[in-house]
Amino acid sequence: MQEKQKINCTVGSCEYNDMQANSCKLKQIIVTPNQNNHTTTPDESMCSSYKYEQNHQH
């Protein structure tokens, strides 16, 4: 049986954020390392799939 991953997103300015479901509409994401950051904590990486939503309202 194939596992299905769920990707949550709380970044309101991301084009792929479904605000009502609090989820990411992408089927996959790309996670890349931040340069010169080898902390072994979450801030060592970032979501390279992030795309700014042009019509984002605060």
- The answer for residues whose C-beta is within 8 angstroms of residue 37's C-beta and 6 or more apart is 43, 44
Q: Where are the alpha helices (DSSP H) in the chain?
A: none
The sign of the torsion formed by the CA atoms of 43, 46, 47, 53 equals positive
User: Could you read off the pLDDT tens digit of each residue along the chain, which spans 58 residues?
Assistant: 577 778 888 899 999 999 898 899 998 889 898 888 778 888 889 889 999 998 876 6
Rounded Cα distance between 57 and 5, Å, is: 28
